[in-house]
Structure 1
């Protein structure tokens, strides 16, 4: 057939046509090999499939300048812009973050989250990331040993079971490798200051399966990425009030903001300044009084806050003489990391028609998460007179007799300031350094199996054990609460530095003595899996063979998480917090999850029915039983119709199922604190521009943890598509898809509860005065969702003399992404709208063209992310033009060239982000999602980046 011949040509070119092609196959071959296609258990000829499958070859990965599995997934149109990248998941900000993710990177097909995307390696499971236990960390994938990546953009629970609602990503390793090859890669942003990446790889193989009957191959890769900070990029500013961005912070990095507080020098009602101004100011800072907020590193004025953030309680009284911190300049834009990964595989013939194999895959990934220095407020109340045998008569306030006491009345005319009392203040702990967390993630898998043919039947049997572990440790920036209070009240430390001043050597030694270093928590996961499958022809039909597959999938899954055991993480000074053993200010505490093992058993069957020469049906059915969770049966029906040589129609319908993870079920409850400022929905009934500070809330404790009553998520989904050949040597496809889900597992946050207060009012605990003292949050079964979209692909090849030009297009149009938080709340449309987690961009796509001569290959590629509405600031300010805006589209180009004119040597050079496009501006800040003034879910912060590669094959 003309279409099949064309698809064969495109497969040879590595263009991954969406007509189900998974292996390059020469059209001159005497016999087409039957292979297993991701999404089916029946082996078939390579040009027979019709699944919405995207294949990315190793050549394409290299030609596009992609250096990690995370880079590949971020470039996929079907992978939603999400907070599951290494920067976003390495965070302690906001209530939306997975505080167990440990700097990992995760897939997110269709925006259904990492737990809705199944990641496989050679068709088999890896163990989920060691601390979160929810999904596979992409850092565990040895990209340099990958031959191709198959991305099934369709539900596959009927074939693979849970996790496959959004789709399947199958990383296929190279096989039968012979020779020794070394390669190196280096990339550096044009700006030079941070963000460099280095990678070394050694791959070797021995033995020819065809002539010697065996092959042993292995590969080891080591990479290192340097940190990139906001201070390294001129656009990374957290203070751009003319564009609607100002820090929602009340702390200053040098001179601590003096607070109006009962019992302290500045009374709660505030003070007038000078003889003519009647305003009583409730916050004072000598830097602001002398117009020097910006004269110290990372300092900014807050004069704009009463306009930009008027709805969050900023007024003339509390902002005029207060300084803030530009945490956009302090923020980590790219995480530093080190990765070592390796593969060893032995393949050998077992008799005439069978092949055995033993395979080990291992990775070690260590990253640092660097965050702005912690901020604290001192207090004169609540500590009592004696704590642990030490007297604190004025709490943690600066003492009257301290050498750095600042008499604001005498120096700056603060009339009501009482210099006979201690000073309460709020300070960002700049002298303690950035809060730095180290995260290690280890993932290993050992697999053995046999694959072969018995007559007309193909069989596969394998056994695998995957293990993952991880831990999080405090590297810098955290302080022992009791030692910190003792230092602050001793007077040795100066919290009121002016420009040009520094702490004394004695003070810095005392600061170092308060620091705490050590492991916070660790976790382990393990999956033991036995897979068995047989497939082949069942009977002859007029239109072809009726084929079948039968199989079983037996697993034992383990998860355990220690939680924060050796330390007590606190966020404020109080007598209770100081009495806790090993009390640490500002560390991210988590509850534990008990060691848990559950068994999973599944059986499945599949039928491939050729109803007509031009019409084929595929029927699949799978039964899964999850210990503790229950059982589920999921069918899938798909078809392929080829009415003529240039047209192929396809479609599918299936149901899906995802069991809650062990940590979602059993993670212990932990008390955390909200970030940012938000209005009390009862005391601040005006939702727009309410600037009454008396009803604003910050640092409110909330409970988060597992929920043993969680039910599985369920889905119904379908797709309908067409593949056609409009002209010679060109194919295109359009696929419509939709996914309807119920009982979505969701981490309910205080922000969402506040937005839907009438539904969650009982989750807010109030004291007799009506003040919120605690919020109940955590994992719940949310309401339903409906996601719809279009996938568009195109592949074109042209022969230009002895040279070739190939072009590929892949794009996803999100039509709708409507979600319901819980029953009783409305369905909300999120396409094109800013959210704290996943961004459902209206369009996301990539286009690449490769011109290949006998010695030179040049690829120009483009990546596009559409514009979307920025964070809704209606409740932030009463200035209309600062309430709603759109974030600009993001379009970047990469140019990569590879020279192979010298035998066994390959040299490459290229430019990532050819035109140096800056990340589009967004006015959200880190209190609501990771990033300040830019969004790491969409943009690459490195800017124009030079990349160099070299590889040499020794023999």
Structure 2
């Protein structure tokens, strides 16, 4: 395999340079040819064989969606298991990704102009490396192409579920600027946006073109207390709902053995309202006041692109992208002191327990013996975080097009940097000293001086970065002609290096920070890849495409990805297409390199001595595994497009993806129920309460998914204007994978056992254009799903679906000025209730925003 890789690499590297020497003729402009995502062979748009969904800048404007992540997350093919900035407690807070086919962000490749960009500086869910959509410019986007079948044969790793290719303007002349203001009428959340696009020069006439784009976005923070139907945290009237309160301030393990008086936000609460099996009175508080649903953000994006004509057939180009983002949120409430309190021992790479026992003689200890206690440091206030990130990509190259060869040679550098600031965390050593000398009152925080409270406070800084450097060379030509047409050929070579370093604060490494959360990653890899592609017209209406790619990774070894496709057009109005391919996903650097993560989660514990069978919290320790193998896939796509008239199009595509050696973690509840099978991995305290679970990434088993996509478009022309109906829907037939290594396959389609995966998801729009007016009504539908985790028979069994509508309109009757207005979530629909979502709804499918009014203006200077 290594010899094969080097052979292809040499072929791929040599072709572009032989093209430079051989191709000096002027380009043939008699037939417009373009490069479609999923192929390196330029051809007529009508000749494309891959299922590609096209979203133009005009489509984005009509959708009423506020930014790039909103546009992509609303797509039907974004089935589930994608994250956005609602996940404020993660190691990648303030980010947004896309997950085609529900296979996770790690299986969806995001490109800009057909080339890679840096992944985000840290990992989502401890293992997913992904491109942060919030880092990419929106104003510079000309169109987005969604390739909905596997593309490892062309692009390599991460393209198992498909490719999102964000295509910027190749050139631009003139200038325009715009502003937009929006307000959520339900929550009061405001947002302001500004954009600018300016360019000069005609590449054909002037020999150059240069353009600059800038956009900014500012939005206020949305806390749970800002949402009327969430702020009380009382869901007892809903299936499986309960009164969400946190119990604290008690001695020993019995919450009814409580401190003498309430402090802070504590309220006297009947224990049975929180747990029907219990009785007595407890101190409890509403955690909603310490929960941010969407962070406050400030984002700035800039793009600079230049092209220079070298001669009649070649041009040099350069492109620079920059993004800066600041996201601030309440990370959590004041620190809880319980028996699970821990600190990090860097020398031994483990967590060590920290005492929560009042010594004899402490003013808060009513007993003549050391007394365990649980409390919340309300006097210290909430804990906050601000994530400041920057993104850069510099691309430069030379490309040409002539009678025989098209070629492109480029170099790329891209990085993502994070500086996460955490405020008002707690100093372990100061806490231990005050616990022993009685210098801090836990039962009455009002007795504590500001000096004492300040001694407990620490602020930390967590740095991280991800870097990508690559050299790319591609070339395409016609190898010859058959009676049915030309034989298209393309080949290429890539040399790429990836580096990831996610650190932590010195307070964490020294063991100073209490209840630490960390995600330490330090790794790099070198990748060589060579690929080739062939398009053969077997008959006038039948063509065969073939592609192959060989990759060599310095950490795990080799991968080979072939692909075959057929395109058959028996009628002018009917096109049949199909493809089979093999793909792979390289283990992410957090999965295979030096990495250690400590996080906090919850699971059902049938052996809990206090609340058996109910969800309990635990500390989660996860480490990398250098022995894991890459994930491999077999992809099948079959479909047709029927266009009986120029104004009618119907497309149906079936997909099936089967993966093996899927990398992940076994279900924690499996470990909890079978501790004898996982010796040393499940740790309990002296009372038998779950403390921590330790795991490492493994190749679990296989998973598979299948379904089909529907695309419909119909337009009618009337005397006053034009009406266009368009729909994109996805039906999920199956999604199965095991919950443990070599375990049985568990079907997840239409349930949330593998994340919320509704069987139907789609959007349908009606657009009316008449002279200077344009209006669009868009219907977004997400089907319901089965509640896979149920505490008892009275728990919720089904999560309802959702239907929302956006309405947008524009008027361009003024010279150079376009006015826009939109209403998102026209009916002010709440997301459906999900009893096991953590707050109220599943954040991979929905967000808490209500009816939002948007006003905007765009002014063209040319």
Shorter-chain TM-score above 0.5 = yes
Q: Residues 380 and 338 from structure 1, CA distance in 2 versus in 1: closer, same or farther, beyond 3 angstroms?
A: closer
Post-superposition CA distance 1:773-819 (Å, at most 9, x none): 65321311111001001111111111122411112111111100000
C-alpha contact (below 8 Å) 1:176/1:216 kept by paired residues: yes
C-alpha contact (below 8 Å) 1:223/1:339 kept by paired residues: yes
Q: Name the residue aligned to 2:192.
A: 198
Q: Name the residue aligned to 2:299.
A: 339
Return the match for 2:554 from 613, 624, 627: 627
Q: How far, CA to CA, are the matches of 1:321 and 1:629 in structure 2?
A: 57
Deviation at 1:353, TM superposition (A): 1.9
Post-superposition CA distance 1:551-579 (Å, at most 9, x none): 112212222222x240238xxxxxxxxxx
Q: Name the residue aligned to 2:72.
A: 73
Matches within 5 A, 1:654-733: 654-672=581-599, 674-675=601-602, 678-680=605-607, 693=611, 700-725=618-643, 729-733=647-651
Q: Name the residue aligned to 1:739.
A: 657
Matches within 5 A, 1:161-310: 161-193=156-188, 195-236=189-230, 237-243=232-238, 244-246=240-242, 250-252=246-248, 256=249, 258-260=250-252, 282-284=256-258, 296=265, 302-307=271-276
Post-superposition CA distance 1:441-481 (Å, at most 9, x none): 221111111222232221122111112221322134x1112
Deviation at 1:934, TM superposition (A): 1.9
Return the match for 1:523 from 445, 464, 467: 464
Post-superposition CA distance 1:113-158 (Å, at most 9, x none): 1111111001111011122381211112101110000000000000
C-alpha contact (below 8 Å) 1:784/1:821 kept by paired residues: no
- Does the alignment pair 1:935 with 2:842? yes
Consecutive unaligned residues in structure 2, runs of 5 or more: 1-27, 344-354
Q: Name the residue aligned to 1:780.
A: 698
Q: Name the residue aligned to 2:116.
A: 125
Return the match for 1:865 from 763, 782, 785: 782
- Does the alignment pair 1:593 with 2:521? yes
Q: How far, CA to CA, are the matches of 1:210 and 1:298 in structure 2?
A: 74
Q: Name the residue aligned to 2:61.
A: 62
Q: Residues 892 and 768 from structure 1, CA distance in 2 versus in 1: closer, same or farther, beyond 3 angstroms?
A: closer
Q: How far, CA to CA, are the matches of 1:739 and 1:297 in structure 2?
A: 51
Matches within 5 A, 1:40-59: 40-59=39-58
Deviation at 1:247, TM superposition (A): 6.0
Cα root mean square deviation, aligned: 3.2
Deviation at 1:200, TM superposition (A): 1.3
Q: How far, CA to CA, are the matches of 2:550 and 2:340 in structure 1?
A: 63
Q: Residues 375 and 299 from structure 1, CA distance in 2 versus in 1: closer, same or farther, beyond 3 angstroms?
A: farther
C-alpha contact (below 8 Å) 1:73/1:79 kept by paired residues: yes
Q: How far, CA to CA, are the matches of 1:612 and 1:362 in structure 2?
A: 47
Return the match for 1:316 from 273, 278, 284: 278
Matches within 5 A, 1:476-515: 476=424, 478-486=425-433, 495-496=442-443, 503=446, 507=449, 510-515=452-457
TM-score (norm 2): 0.88
Q: How far, CA to CA, are the matches of 1:610 and 1:693 in structure 2?
A: 68
Post-superposition CA distance 1:208-241 (Å, at most 9, x none): 2232121110112221121111111122153323
Q: Residues 399 and 902 from structure 1, CA distance in 2 versus in 1: closer, same or farther, beyond 3 angstroms?
A: farther
Deviation at 1:694, TM superposition (A): 7.9
C-alpha contact (below 8 Å) 1:102/1:472 kept by paired residues: no
- Does the alignment pair 1:155 with 2:150? yes
Deviation at 1:747, TM superposition (A): 3.6
Q: Name the residue aligned to 2:319.
A: 359
Q: Secondary structure at the match of 1:924?
A: coil
Q: Secondary structure at the match of 1:246?
A: coil
Q: Residues 354 and 339 from structure 1, CA distance in 2 versus in 1: closer, same or farther, beyond 3 angstroms?
A: same
User: Bigger shift: 844-853 or 236-245?
Assistant: 236-245
Return the match for 1:832 from 733, 744, 750: 750
C-alpha contact (below 8 Å) 1:180/1:204 kept by paired residues: yes
C-alpha contact (below 8 Å) 2:187/2:227 kept by paired residues: no
Q: Residues 419 and 130 from structure 1, CA distance in 2 versus in 1: closer, same or farther, beyond 3 angstroms?
A: closer
Q: Residues 168 and 695 from structure 1, CA distance in 2 versus in 1: closer, same or farther, beyond 3 angstroms?
A: closer
Q: Secondary structure at the match of 1:35?
A: coil
Q: How far, CA to CA, are the matches of 1:495 and 1:692 in structure 2?
A: 24
Q: Name the residue aligned to 2:538.
A: 611
C-alpha contact (below 8 Å) 2:174/2:861 kept by paired residues: yes
Q: How far, CA to CA, are the matches of 2:340 and 2:70 in structure 1?
A: 51
Q: Name the residue aligned to 2:13.
A: none
Q: How far, CA to CA, are the matches of 2:676 and 2:806 in structure 1?
A: 49
Q: Name the residue aligned to 1:108.
A: 99
Q: Secondary structure at the match of 1:316?
A: coil
User: Bigger shift: 759-768 or 902-911?
Assistant: 759-768
Q: Residues 637 and 345 from structure 1, CA distance in 2 versus in 1: closer, same or farther, beyond 3 angstroms?
A: same
Q: Name the residue aligned to 1:572.
A: none
Q: Name the residue aligned to 1:274.
A: none
Q: Secondary structure at the match of 2:61?
A: helix
Q: Residues 922 and 614 from structure 1, CA distance in 2 versus in 1: closer, same or farther, beyond 3 angstroms?
A: same
Q: How far, CA to CA, are the matches of 2:181 and 2:268 in structure 1?
A: 35
C-alpha contact (below 8 Å) 2:342/2:516 kept by paired residues: no
TM-score (norm 1): 0.80
Q: Name the residue aligned to 1:33.
A: 32
- Does the alignment pair 1:914 with 2:826? yes
Deviation at 1:368, TM superposition (A): 2.2
Q: Secondary structure at the match of 1:669?
A: strand
Consecutive unaligned residues in structure 1, runs of 5 or more: 1-28, 93-98, 262-269, 271-280, 308-314, 384-393, 407-417, 570-580, 685-690, 927-931
Post-superposition CA distance 1:624-652 (Å, at most 9, x none): 11112111211101111111122111111
Q: Secondary structure at the match of 1:242?
A: coil
Q: Residues 678 and 221 from structure 1, CA distance in 2 versus in 1: closer, same or farther, beyond 3 angstroms?
A: same
Q: How far, CA to CA, are the matches of 1:948 and 1:771 in structure 2?
A: 54
Q: Secondary structure at the match of 1:78?
A: coil
Return the match for 2:725 from 807, 815, 824: 807
C-alpha contact (below 8 Å) 1:529/1:553 kept by paired residues: yes
Q: Name the residue aligned to 2:331.
A: 371
